[in-house]
Amino acid sequence: MPETTQSTGTGHIGGNGADHRGLGDRVDQIGQNAQQLWSEAQGAVNQIKETLDIQGRVDRHPYGMILAAVGIGYVLGGGLFSRMTARLVRLGFRVAALPFVKEELLNLAKGAMAGSRDQASAPAEPPKVV
């Protein structure tokens, strides 16, 4: 028994019964969808660039941006939970506490100076002889 295929002007139905008429249309649709996705991604990247204004920030504060890049690299490189980070945090707390300690020491010194002036103005008692 000879195998027969049906042919139409718009497509071909194969021996397995699959309709291949729309294959070219589907490929075109996939290409259009990919192009649309690419355009949307480029638009999103451009919008982020405008929002962050990285080039403007680099022009205005070049050293600050270098420090920010080093910090981001340090965190992304896994340095966040290292001994060095713990030491830096402790040092940071100490440096942050310095103004408070300085103020307290100045208050103590002023109190000591005021107390010594009060003693200097008071009459001295003669030494006791035993």
For residues 37 and 27, what is the distance between their CA atoms, to the nearest angstrom? 15
Residue 49: pLDDT band by 50, 70, 90 thresholds?
confident
Structural tokens at position 72? 């981001």
Residue 111: pLDDT band by 50, 70, 90 thresholds?
confident
Span 54-76, pLDDT tens digits: 889 999 999 999 999 999 998 89
For residues 33 and 40, what is the distance between their CA atoms, to the nearest angstrom? 11
Structural tokens at position 6? 């049906």
In this structure, the chain runs to a length of 130
